[in-house]
Structure 1
Amino acid sequence: MQFDEEIEKILDIAWHQQTARSSLVRWHEVCEKENWGQIPKHMPFLIHLFGASWYFTRYVFSRGPKGAELIDQALSESFSFSQLHQRLAPALQAQDPEQGFERLRILKNEIMLQILIAHLMGSLDQEQTERKLTMLADATLETSLKLSGLHEFSDCRIAVLGMGRMAGYEMTFGSDLDLIFLFDSSSEESIAELSRKVRMLLRHLAVASSSGLLYEVDMRLRPHGTSGALLTANRSFIEYHRTDKEVWERQMMTRCRCVCDEGNLGIDTLEQVMPHIYSHYNAEHLRHEIATMRQRVLLEKGSPRAKLEIKRGKGGIMDIDFLTHYLQLKHGCQMASLMTCSTRQALRILSENRIIEPTVGADLLKAYDFLKYIESCVRLFDLKPVSTISVNHQENASVALATGFGHDTVAFMEKYFDVTSAVRRDFERILELH
């Protein structure tokens, strides 16, 4: 199929050009066959989408005219939790949980598609995109709890803690949900029923259908990890963190936020736990433990064969995370503002208080956005939590296009190595590794 010059220009800058072209040909064929007309109005948006995400390409085809309508509808500037709950509310009107969760998959992916379009067209920067994706995850989880009947217990309070990226409003496309479930009840019968409903919730969250999926869920950060109970009594959670723990467990808790709460169970629990996280540490022991854990991750997962690890590799996202963990734990007991779940916010506060030089903080923030943007790009295609690019520059054509380097994959790789080398230098200097 031949396209006009304007369409060809847009196809030339699509991240995955062949995918975009073949999908556009197929879209025109389907529109003609189904008599849909020339939709959407904003054809460049559709082409950019086809080039960026095979997951959402399939989704748009499955929704037909409704998918085109979503592409033409701008994301509301007053993007709020109340609006999100309103848009997800029809899922709660379904006759049974199975139908409700299927409806929720459609609604959640509609909103995520609009966030993606705004992201691709430059209306949202990386930080704004991550915040909106996390707000969507929060609202989806809360709706899922209601669909699972977890709000129906009269003698049991529950709370859900979001960990990692979810805690800091820094989720990207393809991020999973790191969750911990807390409860407060003395009724064995209620606890057993609660456990059953949580298992049903987790199954529905992770199951994919023709409408897509909700979220993959990771429960490994709960007390005692995979060997621990699925649900944790709030008193046990408090006691667990009151005792001496490994530094890595303290690091983990710097990224912990109550995302769903009933009767302030989660908030009250964290108020009792956080003084034990942000306590007084032996500075040398803290430095050594965090540096050792980072090196362990680097050796075990930071150098996959023929790949560059954006997250775990040298100078990657995890270097920035770990240096902020270190400085937050070191100074947090004297500076309450450092008790933030956001890596970006931590860097800003550290810079403002000259714990790190403002120029260093600014460079780390730019590096963080650059690396998180690359991570978003590679995750978008299949909406999977991958974090690698190829060591072969020619295989990174889509990422080079996405990051503004056009077809110059060599320049993209030079920029990547410049950024990661600078991050690694800052990490080693702050952690005193020389």
Structure 2
Amino acid sequence: MPDDQRPQRVRTTSGWLARLGFADPDEAATLLEECELRSTAVVERVAQGADPDLALRRLCEIAGAFASRAGTGEHLVTHLEADPELLTRLVAVLGGSHALGEFLVLHPEAVLDLRASTMPVEPRDQAAFERVLGDVTDRDSLRVAYRRQLLQIAARDLTRRSSYETTAAELSDLAGATLATALRLAREEVDDSETARLAVIAMGKCGGRELNYVSDVDVVFVHAAADGADEQKATRVATRLASTLIRICGEHTREGTIWEVDANLRPEGKDGPLVRTLPSHVAYYERWASTWEFQALLKARPVAGDAELGREYVEALAPMVWDAATRPNFVADTRAMRRRVIDNIPAPQLDRELKLGPGGLRDVEFAVQLLQLVHGRTDERLRVRSTTEALRALVDGGYVARTDGASMTEAYTFLRMFEHRIQLDGLRRTHLVPSDDETLRMIGRTLAYRTDPARNLLKDWQAQRREVLRLHQKLFFRPLLDAVAAMPSDALHLTPEAAQARLEALGYADPRAALTHLRALTSGMRRSAAIQRQLMPAMLAWFAESPNPDGGLLAFRKVSESLGGTHWYLRKLRDEGSGAEQLAKMLAGSAYVTDLIQRAPESVAMLGDDNELEPRTYDRIVTETRSAARRHDDPAEATRTVRRVRRRELSRIAMSDVLGRVDVVEVGHALSDLTTATLEAALDIATRAVEQQRGTSLPTRVAVVLMGRLGGREMGYGSDADVMFVHDPLPGADESAASQAATAVATELRRLLGTAGPDPALEVDADLRPEGRSGPLVRTLASYRAYYARWSMVWEAQALLRAAPVVGDPELCAAFRALIDPLRWPGEGISQADVQEVRRIKARVDAERLPRGADPATHLKLGRGGIADVEWTVQLLQMQHAHAVEGLRTTETLPALHAAAEADLIGSEDAAVLGDAWRLVSRIRNAYVLLRNRAGASLPENANDRAGVAWLLGGGIDGGEQMVDDYLRTTRRARQVVERVFWG
């Protein structure tokens, strides 16, 4: 076509190229004219590349260079049209890498390395690469040969013919072959090279066969004198060989560079000698090495030089690597090192750091390596070098959940492929995500993003970062790691006899039975057994720190056998070490909690979660219990639902108590609120049941008056629910029928809650009602009014100090409160005669109710300075002064005591002494129930019980005698205050 028709032809071609997807179709059309590229098939294939404009530009440059280099006018298109696979590979490389395109312009003959007949069918190992590099004779030819092999690896990668793992392994093996070739060239340059044996040990990603496209290759050199050679001379020669190898790989020539060889991971880093003998290496690691240096050795692999010497190096240091986790502060040091890496990232780069930033590659690698080093002491399956292999081994061994392992592997693979593509573009060592859309678009297309590739690539990157960060926090900071790492290595490899001896030394009273439980938990090939093998070293140590290691281990076996098949149980203990430690503390320290857990093992799920261990409010519990109960027409089933809620909440409160998360006042409030909510729901159920039996609604309103410790919101674990029942017949109702109905409701309520069953019973005690057991179970409001008006004694008014009418009909509760307030808080206070009567009754209680043989110095309730002394003193002040001091009008002991001190009715120091005594004795009472699952009347006499109570009080397992001393001192001081304030 004449030249004056060329613009028209270019315009026509531009339209076609625009439709194909070229960003600058005019320039592309001009290029096609200039390089006389007439093949429609070639152009259409170029258009499918990651960057069509770049690929076309490079293709034209290469075609010109190819024809010139061939010297025959041979056109590259001839080869491309004849070999579709060559065309596909070349377009993928040219569209995904500026640098490789520039290399092909300089060495166009290398294009033919991508032909179907030339490309290797299978991935190559180091030996195969060494054969290819065998003809290399100088540094420039090594660079060209290296690039040609890199070209083939990239072509397979960019056409998605090889996985990330295969690509990384090939890059690592090519690096190993390059090091071997560089060492061969160095030996040709260095005089007397035969006098030194030298092994090159790959570290880092090269050692793990997971190398990047562009990365420093970390190495360590180990040498020895050849047979008969002088050792000092051999050292000098080995140093020159290592230095020359480093220069061969890293220096710039007209053919560019390969990569830097970094030997700074050697002992003493830059300050240490470049080469060392094997004994020198061993001596350094035995004496001086830091934690991070053993972590680096995890990937050590001989890749070049003297193979036997390299193998000896790895074998000599491997035992130290796999014992590194026992070093003091190993886990903490590893975590601190990761934090330092993040802290050293410049702020402007932090959000673009693909490798070092939060949620980056290092988060995966550090988590995996920490798990390997901690658990690899006993499980040789974990002693692998690559991150993805290690993840598979950790999943197979039960150290990481399958879903977590799959998510982390997916995220790590994504990040590594993203990193590869970033580096491949310019063959530059970088880990920063590009900020320009054009580059991101190109990279996204190489990763198969076709729709809005830049935006979707960044979106997926952020999602994977978040997932990596989540899993890193979960695995890297797993509390169980600290406990397992702290176990001596010899404790993990014991004969049965040695295991029994160690269990006995840990404090197990029956080591033979303990060993039987261990075997039952850990034997076999089940995944649950594998996880138990991880857990048991830490669990045994935690049990041993508690009062009853044998009971804890037995209970753990029972719970595990109940829950071992559930998907969450062992995973929770493994992944949330705080939950495992807390469970050990419960099972070995509290028979009360153990009983609750064994009744419903799913309550273990609350452990390790601060929110779950927070006692629930009254409103939340009563709403749940009422709602749950109303879903069942059958009263028995409705009650079972309420009792299940109560059992769960008892577990929550007791667990929090054992863990020291709640004080004795909070425990009293929580237990009282739970009991109140239970009574509220049970009253609804009993009312419905009686109405069903009667076939009509109740002819009366019913309320429950809380009394005693329940009314004072000071319940302990061993407390019954002290109550009085009151009813008020509806207008026009028959009073006898109303009383019968109310009594039926009260009786049914007590039966439903007190019947034995899978959940703990609640004894509802109505003995504090007027006339006690001799009086009617339920009275009308009018009957109470008449009784108190005629018969009420001062002790009954004192009992009403704890009365809290809060359950049942609100109006009736308010009316009952209005009735009793003048009785318990009389307008002018009680008379002096009543004061004397209170003192007389207290003296009689002290003399007659203290059990025969009980020590007055140690009886928790009735002993000197005990619960009764403090409460009677406070109650006397209430009856005397509540009419004038509003703060005394409370059912709770400590608030009343504080109010008395504020009103100067008692000295602040005396009030503090009484408060301290009340708290301590109440805590001991609760602790004994937690420990033995039964109430204790006196300070424990048994040494084991004292130790257990002291442990629950936070005094340590050896704190029993100190606890007794504290008790005697505190109650003695309280008794002195009682003598002055109560007895006058």
One-letter code of the match for 2:205? R
Mapped pair 1:22 → 2:92: no
Contact map agreement 1:283 1:330 (CA 8 A) in 2:
no
Match of 1:43 in 2: 87
One-letter code of the match for 2:114? I
CA shift for structure 1 position 344: 1.0
Mapped pair 1:355 → 2:396: no
Counterpart CA distance in 2 for 1:136 and 1:82 is 9
Closer/same/farther in 2, CA of residues 389 and 235 from structure 1, 3 Å limit:
same
Q: Secondary structure at the match of 1:166?
A: helix
Unaligned runs of 5+ in 1: 95-99
CA shift for structure 1 position 166: 0.5
Mapped pair 1:331 → 2:354: no
Match of 1:71 in 2: 114
423-432 or 35-44: bigger deviation: 35-44
Closer/same/farther in 2, CA of residues 44 and 271 from structure 1, 3 Å limit:
closer
CA shift for structure 1 position 45: 2.4
Q: Which has the higher contact order (CA 8 A, sep 6+)?
A: 1
Counterpart CA distance in 2 for 1:211 and 1:266 is 31
Contact map agreement 2:63 2:75 (CA 8 A) in 1:
no
Contact map agreement 2:224 2:234 (CA 8 A) in 1:
no
Match of 1:430 in 2: 475
Q: What is the identity percentage for the equivalent residue pairs of Structure 1 and Structure 2? A: 22
Counterpart pick for 2:145 among 107, 126, 133: 107
Point out the structure with the larger helix share: 2
Match of 2:106 in 1: 62
Match of 2:284 in 1: 240
Closer/same/farther in 2, CA of residues 243 and 255 from structure 1, 3 Å limit:
same
Counterpart CA distance in 1 for 2:346 and 2:473 is 16
Closer/same/farther in 2, CA of residues 88 and 278 from structure 1, 3 Å limit:
same
CA shift for structure 1 position 190: 2.6
One-letter code of the match for 1:123? R
Closer/same/farther in 2, CA of residues 251 and 6 from structure 1, 3 Å limit:
same
Match of 2:300 in 1: 256
Match of 1:97 in 2: none
Closer/same/farther in 2, CA of residues 14 and 300 from structure 1, 3 Å limit:
farther
Q: Secondary structure at the match of 1:179?
A: strand
Structure of greater Rg: 2
One-letter code of the match for 2:410? K
Superposition pairs of residues 187-198 of structure 1, within 5 angstroms:
187-198=231-242
Match of 1:416 in 2: 461
Q: Could you list the per-position Cα deviations for residues 86-112 of structure 1 after superposition, in whole angstroms to 9, with x for gaps in the alignment?
A: 211111xx4xxxxx2222222222111
Closer/same/farther in 2, CA of residues 401 and 165 from structure 1, 3 Å limit:
same
Closer/same/farther in 2, CA of residues 29 and 234 from structure 1, 3 Å limit:
same
Counterpart CA distance in 2 for 1:78 and 1:117 is 12
Superposition pairs of residues 287-366 of structure 1, within 5 angstroms:
287-301=331-345, 303-305=347-349, 308-366=352-410
125-134 or 301-310: bigger deviation: 301-310
Match of 1:87 in 2: 132
Q: Secondary structure at the match of 2:205?
A: coil
Counterpart CA distance in 2 for 1:363 and 1:326 is 18
CA shift for structure 1 position 29: 4.2
Counterpart CA distance in 2 for 1:341 and 1:129 is 16
CA shift for structure 1 position 141: 1.1
Contact map agreement 2:195 2:237 (CA 8 A) in 1:
no
Q: Secondary structure at the match of 2:171?
A: helix
Q: Secondary structure at the match of 1:365?
A: helix
TM-score, normalised to structure 2, is 0.41
One-letter code of the match for 2:154? L
Match of 1:183 in 2: 223
Closer/same/farther in 2, CA of residues 9 and 418 from structure 1, 3 Å limit:
farther
Contact map agreement 1:287 1:431 (CA 8 A) in 2:
no
Equivalent residue pairs, number = 426
Contact map agreement 2:183 2:305 (CA 8 A) in 1:
no
Unaligned runs of 5+ in 2: 1-27, 33-38, 81-85, 480-984
Contact map agreement 1:286 1:326 (CA 8 A) in 2:
no
Contact map agreement 2:441 2:454 (CA 8 A) in 1:
yes
Match of 1:285 in 2: 329
One-letter code of the match for 2:443? V
Counterpart CA distance in 2 for 1:391 and 1:282 is 44
Match of 2:186 in 1: 148
Counterpart CA distance in 1 for 2:477 and 2:252 is 46
Mapped pair 1:163 → 2:203: yes
CA shift for structure 1 position 243: 2.1
Closer/same/farther in 2, CA of residues 344 and 78 from structure 1, 3 Å limit:
closer
Closer/same/farther in 2, CA of residues 28 and 257 from structure 1, 3 Å limit:
closer
CA shift for structure 1 position 246: 2.4
CA shift for structure 1 position 189: 2.2
Q: Could you list the per-position Cα deviations for residues 347-366 of structure 1 after superposition, in whole angstroms to 9, with x for gaps in the alignment?
A: 01000011000111111111
One-letter code of the match for 1:346? A
Match of 2:273 in 1: 229
Counterpart CA distance in 1 for 2:186 and 2:248 is 9
Counterpart CA distance in 1 for 2:187 and 2:438 is 51
150-159 or 130-139: bigger deviation: 150-159
